A = this chain, B = another copy of it.
Amino acid sequence: MLSLRRYFPIFDWGRRYDRAALSSDLLAALIVTIMLIPQSLAYALLAGLPPEAGIYASIAPLVLYAIFGTSRALAVGPVAVVSLLTASAVGQVAVQGSAGYAAAALSLALMSGLMLLLLGFLRLGFLVNFLSHPVIAGFITASGILIATSQIKHLLGIEAGGHTLPKMVASILAHLRETNIATLVIGMSVIGFLFWVRRGMKPFLLGMGVPPRFADILTKAGPVAAVAASTAAVSVFGLAERGVNIVGEVPQGLPPLTLPALSPDLLGALLMPAILISVIGFVESVSVAQTLAAKRRQRIDPDQELIGLGAANVGAAFTGGYPVTGGFARSVVNFDAGAQTPAAGLFTAIGLGIAALAFTPLVHDLPNATLAATIVVAVLGLVDLSILRRTWNYSVSDFAAVAATIVLTLCLGVEIGVASGVATSVMLQIYKTSRPHVAEVGLVPGTQHFRNVLRHRVETDPTLLTLRVDEALYFANARFLEAQIQARVTEGCRIRDVVLMFSAVNAVDYSALESLEAINFRLRDMGIRLHLSEVKGPVMDRLKRSHFLDELTGEVFLSQYDAWRCLRDERQSAAAE
């Protein structure tokens, strides 16, 4: 029963479900449904898919996440960055608009879903740790710029292509003369209106005496108003005949049962994008879920989140959708509107199902420029170049990771951008730990403490060299330690004993073990003994499994003070003889 509840959190909250939660959830679902209709159409456009794919991707995935997910407020569906990744991946294997394109998007959702499920069952969520915050921030910012640029063609009513910034800009410039003025006017008006909705509408309504809660709901309905007004304008003025691209026929009905394409070549080509979508989607979703859970002192389980998102993506693959994840904007709206349990997601799914059944004819005359405008306004919130300044102030290596990710994502594409960011941050981390702080220490007079000889007035002995290493020893710094000791020993020609103080050494891997053995033998060849002091329990346990302690020319002292006292006594008795 416990494991059933672990894998099906719905049994946990479902048993305590009551009327109060029901009414909160119903209200939240209504607000989110109104917000999601234009958003889903817009993200499908961004992904290069027919508009209904966006609606379908918000139905089954919401139901499945409600069953398997652990966050009370997360809303799952198409999001901007994952839609961009889908367009970039599927665009490489199929022509946009073809049947193969939609089928490849389903395959991508299936692969991504299966990967997330696998990571969840194997409890391998730690793999997302390879993405550092600067890499994610850089990637999201660069994606926002790419997405906004990709919508310019819809705002101008021209044909243009490209998946990198230079190619997109070149393509737009080449077709600039074909701009459709009516389209441009619609697009710019909607952008202007939406910015006003975001910044000026709520204060305006409050000034008019509208109650705050109602003003809030009206503000969220802003995009719907833009959709309604621009659709009406197209119908009334017959703008479709003047070259304004519209959404057109959207099939009426519930999500169909679809089968992803499964040819090995296709799956091979989509493997890397699927990994990227899984990881980026999971990271975005988990950070939203954690932030919202903390506000109500709730917990989410990251490994179970992998299962919830995995199930949602598998669901999208079989119901005409495309890859989905937990979205920031929709989740915050859901949370603010008072959603108490994942049942709010179930109700939203029902709302969208009704919309798909009954309301799709209403969007026939909706101009693509309106959808593009809603995307542009939404993603400009993702663009945050201040991360460059903030990391620059904090540390150069974090800045390097951000800058590499942004520049390479913009110029070479999303996959190379993220991969380079990960590689950069891993390499810099290894570089930073490859040159650990090694301090020569001496005894602080009148105490049993040993401190850095360069910073404190301490007692030392010319025949004894004591070094404190401030880092776990592993392959990246093993050779550095060898070189450091060799250098210091050849400088002090009277040295007879070397003590390595291990108080800050949290681990010793096999490379470091071999380096310690080499150091031991090289010192022996010079007639110098090697000792250790203050070795931590887990490190000592490991060393005991090797021959190192048998071969060690000196001793292992419990404390550095013991080492000092014992070696000094030994020397004095030798001198007395």
Contacts and interface: CB of A to CB of B under 8 A. Distances in A.
Interface string A517-536: 01001110110000000000
Interface in A434-473: 434-435, 470-472
A211 to B, nearest CB: 26
Contact of A430 (B130, B471, B480, B487): B130
Q: How large is the interface on A (under 10, 10 to 19, 20 to 34, 35 or more residues)?
A: 35 or more
A25 interface: no
A504 interface: yes
A395 B508 CA distance: 10
Contacts of A294: 486, 521-523, 525-526
Given A126-B480, A290-B482, A294-B526, A132 B509 contact: yes
B476 A510 contact: no
Nearest to A431: B126
A573 to B, nearest CB: 27
A385 B443 CA distance: 45
A163 interface: no
A475 B421 CA distance: 12
A470 B435 contact: no
Contacts of A518: 290-291
B432 A507 contact: yes
A3 interface: no
Nearest to A477: B129
A478 interface: yes
Q: How many of these chains are in the complex?
A: 2
Interface stretch (A296-304, A353-361, A408-416): A296-304
A535 to B, nearest CB: 15
Given A395-B509, A511-B133, A490 B430 contact: no
Contacts of A398: 509-511
A509 B426 contact: no
Interface string A482-525: 11001101100000000000001011011101110010011101
Interface in A8-67: none
B506 A430 contact: no
B470 A506 contact: yes
A146 B133 CA distance: 43
A213 interface: no
A302 B435 CA distance: 14
A258 interface: no
A302 B432 CA distance: 19
B394 A542 contact: yes
Nearest to A437: B506
B510 A395 contact: yes
A126 B395 contact: no
A506 B509 contact: no
Nearest to A429: B474
A374 interface: no
A221 B390 CA distance: 67
Contact of A397 (B128, B390, B393, B509): B509
